[in-house]
Amino acid sequence: MMDVPPDIRDALAKDAEARRVFDKLLPSHQHECLRWIEEAKRRETRSKRIGGMMERLTAPRGA
C-alpha cells in the first residue's frame, strides 16, 4: 500500500471492509482518492472527504 496520511490510515483501520476494498483498488485509484482528500484546504472539508471515501468503499455493489 502507498504512503497513506495518518488520519486516513486511522479511518481505514477502524473499518476492515473499507480497508480491504481500498487495498484492492488499483494504485492509480488509491492515489486519486488520496489526492482528492489531500487537496482539501479546511480541516472540515478533509474530514467530510474522508467520510465520503469510507462510505463509497463500503457501499453495496451491483444493485
pLDDT per residue as tens digits for the range 19-62: 999 999 999 999 999 999 999 999 999 999 999 999 999 998 76
Domain borders along the chain are: 1-9+24-57
User: Could you tell me what percentage of the chain is helix, strand and coil, using 3-state DSSP and rounding each to the nearest 5?
Assistant: 70, 0, 30
Confidence (pLDDT) at 41 = 97
Checking phi first, is residue 62 left (phi over 0); if not, alpha (psi -120 to 50) or beta? left
- pLDDT of res. 14: 97
Q: Please state, in angstroms and rounded to a whole number, the distance separating the CA atoms of residues 29 and 26.
A: 5
Grouping H, G, I as helix, E, B as strand and the rest as coil, residue 35 is: helix
